[in-house]
Structures are given as structure tokens and as C-alpha cells.
Amino acid sequence: MPVTPPAQTATITTEGDIKVIHLKPPIIVRDFATALGMKPFKLISELMEMGIFASMNQAIEEPVAVKVAEKHGFMLEIKHRGEAAQQTQQTAKEKAKSKEKAAAEAEVQNLAPRPPVVCILGHVDHGKTSLLDAIRKADVAAGEAGGITQHIGAYQIEHSDRKITFLDTPGHAAFTKMRARGADVTDIAVLVVAADDGFMPQTDEALKHAQNAAVTLMVAVNKMDVKGANIERVKQQMQERNIAPEDWGGETVTVPVSAIKGTGITDLLDMILLQADVLELKANAKTEASGIIIESQIEVGRGPLATVIVQRGTLRVGDSIVCGPHWAKVRAMFDDQGKNLKEAPPATPVRVIGWSGAPDSGAAFKSAKNAREAENLAEEAEHLIRKTTGTADAAPKEVSVESLFANIAATQAKVLKLIIKTDVFGSTEAVRNLLENIKSTKVSLEIVSVDVGLVSKTDILMASAAGAVVIGFNTKLENGVTAVAKHHGVRIETYGIIYELADKVRDMMADLLDPDLKENKTGAAEVRATFPLAKGFVAGCLVTEGKITRNGSARLRRKKEIVFEGKVSTLKRFKDDANEVRAGIECGIKLGDFNGYEIGDVIECFEITKVRAAL
């Protein structure tokens, strides 16, 4: 019995004067008749006139249906499944496009001026931190004891009722990467050049970073109050480097300043704001927050925290953000003065508390809908990192014995962890550089933290948790530290000479290695005869060199082949037991439970000594 196909509902639309019937195939006679507004048998008789015999539940071909529809004043549109999907897809694309367009329009409408982000670059000791100190009117440099800034710091100041964000990057060559990263976040780079020194190798290096980052360059000629200050020489050097100053017909804004006297600071800030106006810096503050991690650390009591610069949107307390494998529910935000902030608009530097771990400096962060989504995104990123580094769960495959041992060795790699405390920041630089230059394939050196000040109880607790050694350079211990260190089993070493410190660290690294075993030959004897005993045989020997010792390690060598290795269990002079027999004397020797001695065999005695492994 034929199965009746399900009835199809035809939709009729009007386009101008023409009525359009929309039907999906197959076109069944009964449904088609209903759509045309006629009785099914009437349609059957019409089809018969056209020479087509079809029952009520039979399908008719599409061209025939089109002809019949036209006859009755209708236009037939047959919807195929693929076409519908294509139409839906097209509609989805159009919707997405219009959504993007709307978002772009909203973005343009919401763009508002933002503060410029300014990076201070230059050679060590040319007064970058002192200049920033003069700008902030806060005693930053005094806390650094006339040395080198260790971490990138981000600060915001107000001038002429407008805000300017400053990045203070370290000046030492050891922090090239950090400084390069600082230049990548910024709009304007201020290159600090000392009026008495001029351009130095690190100044040129900083200039390259600024040029590579394609930021607007300004030059602050510092130390104008110093004897021997020569701004014309500096301008000459600028001309040689194709960054000619404005008064020499170039485009580089050059401002003479004195950080110590505080002169020229206002001019510098005015010029920064002028450059910002030229750049027309804008950002959308009414969107989800995203930006860059400037620095991160783990602080006792607060956990992981990071200094971030918001580049787009507004970051608020309670927001969820994600940065690579780390995420944060923003518990609190602080500015550089330590004040609590509720929100951070674009170009604002803030310290964020609430991270799952310390994110990488220079990495980008973005907002997530909620903490769960942020955590999931971080987990995905971590899985991706593990997958790319080959640590994720992979399909089981055949592993060679060599690679297995290599993997085991890698997991058992020796690491010497250090916590360094020094008297001044200048020392931290020197110590860190010296230690980072100690290279070894067997032991790696990890500097957990470098700080200035006395060795405190906090350092001991950190060292205990990290399994580190505390090293003090030109600094002393706080009261009660020795007792805490003894209780926690933490080793403290203090030095006054930097090279002694480096030598001691090398020794510590070497001490982590298993000692090398060295074999020393102590004697040899030649087998001249064999004598039977109650339990096997004993070898009658002449000691040819050194001495043979009872219970000493020995091996029996037959020509080039080693036949047996063990201990000297029996050593006799005639019938008496002997503890040792020296060269030129005959004796009886039995090695362990070995009995297969032959005349001409050589018995070698040796001892194994442990020698400190070399790095």
C-alpha cells in the first residue's frame, strides 16, 4: 500500500500584482491544488489534458507545476533545502556584518582623548629616575640609593589639569628586554641624555628600541647644572644619528632640564602634552578592558600581583580578566601612591590584586564575562602552552630507552635557588649580572628575588618555601634572623667582595652535583702458581708494583680481558694472614669466591675516591 507523504503547507506572498506560491519539493498534487485554490480532481483532469496521469498523492515534476501555476495566474517558487541553508548562511553573514558595522560605529562614537603613555629611556646614571622623581615630586631616587631601577615602574601625574602616564624603565644593559618591552607600550619616548656625557652605548641602544617601536621621540638633555654641560655637543651627536633637534632644522623636540635643580621640568611636560595633541591619542573607555602587564611579582600576604596599563575600556574592581595561563578576579586596585582605586580608564597604570599566578611581563590581558569563563580561558591557554611545548597528554608512542633516561635526567635537573639582598640597587645589578653569567649544563641557577636592605625574617621564610640559599652582599642581618634560619634549615652567606661571592656560588652549584668517582690504582701482582685449598684455589703471586691490601677492591686481568672483579678476601704471607703486601714480595691471594686462576694472570688493586664534580 503506498505511503501518503506528509502534507506540505504552501506560503503565498504578493510581489506587486503577482501572487507567489512558495513550496518545498516534492510537489504533491493534493497540496499543489490546495495552494492554487482548486479541487484536487480538477487539477488531475487538467494534468490528464496535458498528457500526465497522476493520482492525488503523487508528485509532479517541477516544470509541469510551474506551467500549471502560470495558467492560474500564480508564480511558483520552489525552495530547495541547500538554497534555504545558503539563504540562512547569507542572512547570518549579513547580520554579522551589520553587527560589526554597528560595533565599529559605536567604537568611533565612544572614542575619547586619553592620557599619553611616556617612556623614560637612556643610559645608566644619566638621571632617568631623578628626572622622574622631579616630575612626580616624590622621593623615588632616594629610596634607590643612587643606583639602578630594578623593575619597570608605572606612574601617573597631573599637569595643566591633564594626566600623563610615565613608564620608568631600567637603564642597565642586563635589562635590555625589559626596556624594549617598555618602549612597546608607549606613545612617546623621552630619551634622557646627560649634558656632560652625551650619547653613550646604552643611549644608542635605547634610541634603537624607541625607533623600532615607532614611537614619537623626544630628547631631555639632563644635568644642565653640572660643570662641563655642553648641550651643543649633544645636539651635534643627535644630528649625526639623524634625529636632528628642532632648532637645527630637525623634528626632534629637545628640552634642556636639570632633575636636581628642577629646572626645565614644566617645559618638558608642556612639550609632552603638545606631542600628545599632535598624535590625537584616543581610546574607547566604554568597552571591556584590555591592556598590557608591565610587571608582576608575588608579595607575601597579598599573593600574586601585577602592574597593568589599561589600553582600552575601563577596568573595575570585581571584573574578571585573563592573561595567558593566568586569570584574575580583580579584588583590589592601587595606584603608584598606594591609594585604592575603584576603576581604571585607558592609559591608567594600576596594581591589580587577585591573580591565580604571576603573569608574564609584557603580555596582554583582556576581560572575560565572569570568573568561570576567565578560569576556563586560562586553562585552555595553559593546555595550549603544554601542547606546544610537548608536555600535554599525547597519544602513547614507543619511547626509546635513551629518551626515557634523558627525560628522567631532565626531571632530576639540579637547580640552585638564591635570594639576594644587597646594600644598594647598584649592587643588585652587578651581583645579578655576575651570577647570570655563570653557565653550566649540569646545574641551573635560579634567582628567586633580588632586593635591597637587611636580610629579614621574611627572606628566610621565602627561602624556606622555595628551598633557596640567602646571600647577603655588603649588608647585615636583622635581629633574630639567625635563629629563624636555623629553625627553618636555611643557609645564609654574607660577602663583602663580589668575586668571592661568585666563587662561592660556583662551589654551591658544584656541591649539588653527585661527586665524580675516580679510580686510583694502588698495586698489581702477577700470578706465578695456583694452590688448591679446602674451598677452591688460591693464587701464588709476586707483587710487581704498589701494594696489595686485604679487603681492597681488585680485578683479575687476563691479557686485555677482565675475568673477575671483587674484593681481596684472603691475603697470606706463607701460612700467616697479612693485611698488606708490598712490591717485590711473594704472597697468596684469593679474590672473593673466584677459583679459575691461570699462570700469567695479573691482579690489579684499586681504590675509588669521590671527587667534587666540575660545573
Tens of pLDDT, residue by residue over 197-242, are 788 877 787 787 777 777 788 888 888 877 877 888 888 888 888 8
* pLDDT above 80: residue 402: no
pLDDT on residue 469: 92
Residue 26, pLDDT > 90, answer no
pLDDT of 371-392, one tens digit each? 888 888 888 888 887 777 655 4
Identify whether residues 96 and 131 lie together within a single domain.
Answer: no
598 in the same domain as 450 = no
Predicted local distance difference test score (pLDDT) of residue 543: 94
Q: What sign results for the dihedral spanned by CA atoms 57, 60, 65, 68?
A: negative
Residues 49 and 97 in one domain: no
Q: Which pLDDT does position 588 carry in this prediction?
A: 93
Q: Are residues 317 and 184 in the same domain?
A: no
Which sign does the torsion angle of CA 118, 119, 122, 127 carry?
Answer: positive
Shared-domain flag, residues 108 and 121 = no
Give the pLDDT confidence score for residue 396 in this predicted structure: 44
Query: Over the stretch 128-161, which tens digit does the pLDDT of each residue have?
Result: 777 777 777 643 444 444 443 434 467 788 887 8
In whole angstroms, give the CA distance from residue 352 to residue 332.
6
* 159 and 229 share one domain: yes
CATH number for the domain harbouring residue 543? 2.40.30.10
Q: Which residue has better confidence, 284 or 181?
A: 284
- pLDDT at res. 384: 83
Residue 394 pLDDT level (bands cut at 50, 70, 90): very low
CB atoms within 10 A of CB 277: 12
Q: What is the mean pLDDT of residues 163-173?
A: 66
**Of the residues 465, 492, 512, which one is the last residue of a structural domain?**
512
Q: What is the pLDDT of residue 170?
A: 52
Q: Do residues 279 and 342 lie in contact, with contact meaning Cβ atoms separated by under 8 Å?
A: no
315 and 348 part of one domain: yes
- The count of structural domains within the chain is 6
* C-beta separation of 200 from 171 below 8 A: no
- Least-confidence region, from 147-156, 345-354, 563-572: 147-156
Question: What is d(CA 285, CA 279) in angstroms, rounded to the nearest whole number?
Answer: 18
**Least confident stretch, 325-329, 383-387, 564-568, 579-583:** 383-387
pLDDT over threshold 90, residue 539: yes
- Asked if the bond preceding 325 is cis, omega within 30° of 0, the reply is no
Question: Which of the two residues, 48 and 102, has the higher pLDDT score?
Answer: 48
CATH number at residue 490: 3.40.50.10050
Question: Does position 470 have pLDDT exceeding 50, yes or no?
Answer: yes
End-to-end CA separation in angstroms for the chain: 91
Q: Does pLDDT of 4 surpass 80?
A: no
Both 103 and 204 in one domain: the answer is no
Q: pLDDT at position 95, please?
A: 63
Task: Tell me: pLDDT of 421 over 70.
Answer: yes
Rounded to an integer, the average pLDDT of 188-193 is: 86
94 to each of 84, 87, 91, 100, how far by Cα in Å? 15, 10, 5, 10
Tell whether the model's pLDDT for residue 89 goes beyond 80: no
**578 part of a folded domain:** yes
Q: For the ranges 36-45, 107-116, 282-291, which has the lowest average pLDDT? A: 107-116
Interatomic CA distance for residues 545 and 542, integer angstroms = 9
Q: pLDDT tier at 124 (50, 70, 90 boundaries)?
A: low
| Residue 1 scores a pLDDT above 50 | no
Q: What is the pLDDT of residue 140?
A: 44
Domain region containing 380: 287-388
4 lies in a domain?
no
pLDDT of residue 6 exceeding 60, the answer is no
- 597 belongs to a structural domain: yes
Model pLDDT, residue 346: 86
Range with the largest mean pLDDT of 163-177, 185-199, 288-302 = 185-199
Q: Is the pLDDT of residue 425 over 80?
A: no
Assess whether pLDDT exceeds 60 at residue 499. Answer: yes
Residue 26 lies in a domain: yes
Which of 158-172, 419-433, 545-559 holds the top average pLDDT? 545-559
- CATH code of the domain containing 158: 3.40.50.300
pLDDT at 424: 64
pLDDT attached to residue 406: 57
**Does some domain include residue 292?**
yes
Considering only residues 501 and 386, tell me which one the structure prediction assigns the higher pLDDT.
501
The per-residue pLDDT for 152 is: 46
pLDDT band of residue 541 (cuts 50, 70, 90) is very high
Q: What is the DSSP letter of 474?
A: S
Q: Of residues 387 and 413, which shows the higher confidence score?
A: 387
Give the number of C-alpha atoms closer than 13 A to the C-alpha of residue 530, restricted to the C-beta side: 14
Whole-number pLDDT of residue 585: 92
- In a shared domain, residues 30 and 108: no
195 and 216 together in one domain: yes
Q: What percent of the chain has pLDDT over 90?
A: 11
Q: Residue 106 — very low, low, confident or very high, per pLDDT cuts 50/70/90?
A: low
Question: Domain check: are 119 and 263 in the same one?
Answer: yes
232-241, 411-420, 599-608: least confident range: 411-420
Among residues 280, 301, 335, which one ends one of the domains? 280
Amino acid occupying residue 449: S
Residue 603 banded pLDDT, cuts 50, 70, 90: very high
pLDDT over 50 at 255, yes or no? yes
Cα–Cα–Cα angle for 410, 416, 421, nearest 5°?
150
Dihedral (C-alpha) 161, 167, 171, 173: value to the nearest 10 degrees?
-160
Average pLDDT score over the chain: 79
Of the three residues 333, 355, 388, the one that is the final residue of a domain is 388
* Averaged pLDDT for residues 310-336: 86
In this structure, are 23 and 138 located in the same domain? no
- Residue 211 resides in a domain: yes
Residue 411 pLDDT exceeds 70: no
Q: How far is CA 259 from CA 193, 223, 226, 546, 558, in A?
A: 12, 7, 11, 77, 84
Supply the pLDDT for residue 412.
58
Residue 395 lies in a domain: no
* pLDDT for 273 beyond 80: yes
- Is there a domain that residue 414 lies in? yes
Question: What global pTM score does this model have?
Answer: 0.49
